[in-house]
Amino acid sequence: MLNSQEENKFKVQLISTLTTLVYNNIYCSNPKDDIKASDAANALEKRLLGFRAELDIKQVLQKDKDRQLLDGGFMLPTKTDSLPHQNSVYFTVSSDAPDKYIPVYENLSKLDFLQMFFVTYSLSLETWSLSDELIKGESLLVPNTECLSFIDGSFTKLQFTTQRELMRSFTRRRDIYKAEYSIESKKQEINKAQELLKQYSITELQSLVAERYIYDGIIGGKVYKGMPADIDLITFRFDRYNFIEVKEKDLSKREPIGFGMDVHRLSNMLTMEKVTQIPYFYIVKHVNNQRERIYQGWKYVRLKGFEKAVEGYGTINGGMGMSTKSSEHPTLVAPKEKFIDFPSKY
């Protein structure tokens, strides 16, 4: 049992590691340019806010003892011109028992992924260690992992390290991108992240770090890849699985007044639902505005309902989300009236 001082120490290390992994994998053409560096810092903040929303909704959903929560997963195309479900590798990073995920993987396998992996780790802090192998000069608190492959309806432990097994699916880049942010900017962003995430438990932070260790650290900018996507969360209740997409959002500033979704993301999620026959739900953590971000409540809509609700409305250029301000993000907005207050009988 950790005392409060030890617990705080681990939290600081985990949040620092998380921030460093993500920040290092955000592309910035010129970190010494104030505008471009600001765009990268803004993209980092959006990612951290997204992580916060994911942790918050888990806390809400866990109150229903009939509902089981499963970790989501990543879809990563092995070709630069591919969409998330094309020529892709799928992997989950979780401390759960892999066999718990077999029914989900069986359904997801209908998407014809090139390979499906399950990366497992332990929550025991004794299995986590400080390492500077991923980013030179950065001491990161990372887990010891094992990699399993999903073949013919079951998981098989693979022979080599997680890094080697995952990287074998991709073509390595010779011109590996490496962020060159100043020491001061790194310190500033880590301090912001500490304030944003310090209220969460060690276990909750471990889940974030483990995922980003694989996605941003081991894979990161080291390989050629297409448009990525992920499943934020999977729920199981009354013999039914659901895919969950969760975002922290304020209301749109123009008609229709409501909540939006990136067009490409929407298309991929609808394809996933159609092929797997697993319902997809869009859950929004409503905040008052993008500056204060005062919590207003949870809203949700079935993805098919969202698709129907946006009919007749054109796209707008949405927020920067996971990218920078200079990027184009065609977004469809559904009126707020189409969303249902949550918690309810979801």
The model's confidence at residue 321, banded by pLDDT at 50, 70 and 90, is very low
Q: What is the pLDDT of residue 60?
A: 95
* Other CB atoms within 10 A of residue 277 CB: 10
**Domain spans of the chain, in order of start:** 4-219, 239-342
Q: What is the pLDDT of residues 177-193, one digit of tens each?
A: 777 888 899 999 999 99
CATH number for the segment(s) 239-342? 3.40.1350
Give the pLDDT of residue 318.
Answer: 65
Instruction: State residue 119's pLDDT score.
Output: 98
Confidence of residue 315 (pLDDT cuts 50, 70, 90): confident
Per-residue pLDDT of 80-135, as tens digits, reads 999 998 999 999 999 999 999 999 999 999 999 999 999 999 999 999 999 998 98
Residue 322: pLDDT above 50?
no
3-state secondary structure of 3: coil
DSSP for 157-186 reads E-SS-HHHHHHTTSPBPSS-------HHHH
Structure pTM? Answer: 0.94
Q: What are the structure tokens assigned to 100, written together?
A: 């718990």
DSSP assignment letter at 336? G
pLDDT digits (tens, 9 = 90+) for 270-304: 999 999 999 999 999 999 999 999 999 999 999 99
**pLDDT value, residue 344:** 53
Sheet holding 280-287, edge to edge: 154-157, 145-151, 115-121, 88-94, 67-77, 229-237, 240-249, 280-287, 295-302, 340-342
Q: For residue 154, which amino acid is it?
A: S
Report the DSSP pairing between strands 330-335 and 258-262: antiparallel
Mean of pLDDT values over 62-66:
92
Task: Identify the CA nearest to 235 among candidates 226, 227, 246.
Answer: 246
Residue reference for tokens 């229709």: 256
DSSP 91-124: EEEESS-GGGGHHHHHHHGGG--SEEEEEEE---
pLDDT at position 324 is 41
Average pLDDT value over all residues in the chain = 93
- Indicate whether 328 pLDDT > 90: no
**What's the rounded Cα separation, in Å, for the pair 136 and 150?**
33
Q: Is the pLDDT of residue 325 over 50?
A: no
> Can you give the pLDDT at residue 345?
47
Tens digits of residue pLDDT in 248-273? 999 999 999 999 999 999 999 999 99
CA distance 319 to 18: 23
Give the number of C-alpha atoms closer than 13 A to the C-alpha of residue 252, restricted to the C-beta side.
20
First-to-final CA distance of the chain: 36
Tens of pLDDT, residue by residue over 14-56, are 999 999 999 999 988 888 888 998 999 999 999 999 999 999 9
Amino acid 91: pLDDT: 98
Q: What percent of the chain has pLDDT over 70?
A: 96
Give me the phi and psi of 97, to 5 degrees please.
-70, 130
- The residue-averaged pLDDT of 216-221 equals 94
